[in-house]
Amino acid sequence: MVSLSVLDQSPIRHGSNAAEAVAETVRLAQACEQLGYERYWLAEHHNTQSFAGSTPEVLIGKVASETKTIRVGSGGVMLPHYSPLKVAENFRMLETLYPGRIDLGVGRAPGSDPRTSAALQSGPETYDIAVFPQLVQLLTQFLQDARGEEAFGDEHPYRGIHAMPRGPGLPQVWVLGSSPMGAVYAADLGQPFSFAHFISPDGGEKIVESYRQKFKPSKELQEPKVSLGISVLCAETEEEAKQLSMTRNLWVLHLLTGRHIPFPSLEEALNYPYTPNDYQVLKSIEQRSFAGTPAQVRERLKDLSEAYGTDEFVVVTITHDFESRLKSYELLAREFELSKPQLAMAQ
């Protein structure tokens, strides 16, 4: 049995705007719940024309209120920007409002450029990923304390400080990463690890294996748990899928040259004056995602499942038009025989 979830970055399409991107996030979440996806994660990006999702904790509340059963969470909160206590309180409140449905994915990447990272800080400090493991440790301690378990020793300066509102439930914490260090942190802290294959697949199998070998059991997790974040685009034919993927590929090409633009239309992608060097870069970009018929994508995921030893995937799909994006998730759900895939398109 394969478990499929969704990562939504709330992409802004050329000719559209952030409000429409957020509205599409809610519509897609409702559809994916009906399609049988397990989790719906919201991303965090700052100071970009490409994505509307800057505050996942706010968007989680909206998505959870518009759905009923699907787990909703962050993919992820960029923890070095923030106070662990405040993050714990945000997600304690979400867990109180939507018990048993909240995930808290945390990452150490800035999700922005250096100047924006500095502007996000509350004081003169600069963004420092080196403190990430200490921040995750503090975060989990505050979450455990909120459940009524005193997490700090008698001499700890934070003893008696509680993440409110307190209650029995806990959001499920995940460590997100695309590098060996993310795997090391997740293993040492005894947390599940979601590897961002769609960002940097190189060496991914060794990274995940390192996580398993170094994993230390925790109160929340006795054995290592892995998911893969993957870029997928399904269509009725391979030709259509490859064509639809050109908009995202052109966007990535621009991103690699420092241009943060809305996602271009298919017409723009087809008519773009690509250089020979662009075509070489595009080949590398194409290798980081799976575009094809549902059956072709299923075979690729089967290979990944065997290589990584996991059957849990978090799927990110971006197209210029919303309907083809929704259709891709529907085709994938149908191929993997998730629950009631026919309901989503009917609504």
- Nearest 5°: the CA angle 326, 41, 88 is 160
- Each residue of 298-316: pLDDT tens digit? 999 999 999 999 999 999 9
Residue 164, both tokens: 């409110």
pLDDT band at residue 257 using 50, 70 and 90 as cut-offs: confident
pLDDT at 342 over 90: no
Q: Tell me the sheet residues that pair with 51.
A: 11
Band of pLDDT at residue 153, cut at 50, 70 and 90: confident
Q: Name, in order, each residue with C-beta under 8 angstroms of 203's C-beta and a sequence gap of 6 or more.
A: 180
The pLDDT of residue 341 = 43
The model's confidence at residue 122, banded by pLDDT at 50, 70 and 90, is: low
Mean pLDDT of the region 192-199: 96
Share of the chain above pLDDT 70, in %: 95
- Could you tell me the pLDDT band of residue 344, with boundaries at 50, 70 and 90? very low
Q: Alpha-carbon distance 29 to 333, whole Å?
A: 14
- pLDDT computed for residue 173 by the predictor: 96
Q: What is the pLDDT of residues 65-103, one digit of tens each?
A: 999 999 999 999 999 889 999 999 999 999 999 999 999
Q: What are the C-alpha distances in Å from 278 to residues 13, 160, 256, 272?
A: 22, 57, 11, 10
The residue count of the chain comes to 347
Domain ranges of the chain: 3-237+291-346
Q: For residues 170 and 220, is the Cβ–Cβ distance under 8 A?
A: yes
Note the pLDDT tens digit of each residue in 161-175: 889 998 888 999 999
Q: What is the mean pLDDT of residues 129-134?
A: 81
Mean pLDDT for 331-346 is: 72
3-class state of residue 213 by DSSP? helix
Give pLDDT, residue 224.
97
Q: Which of 24, 31, 1, 5 is closest to 327 using CA atoms?
A: 31
pLDDT > 90 fraction of the chain, expressed in percent and rounded = 76
The encoded tokens of residue 18 equal 């952030």
Question: Coil, strand or helix: which one is 290?
Answer: strand
**CA-based Rg of the chain, rounded to a whole angstrom?**
20
Task: Dump strand ranges (E) for the chain.
Answer: 3-8, 39-42, 71-78, 102-107, 172-177, 193-196, 226-234, 289-292, 312-316
| CATH fold of 3-237+291-346 | TIM Barrel (3.20.20)
26-61: pLDDT as tens digits: 999 999 999 999 999 999 999 999 999 999 999 999
Q: Are 187 and 168 in contact (CB under 8 A)?
A: no
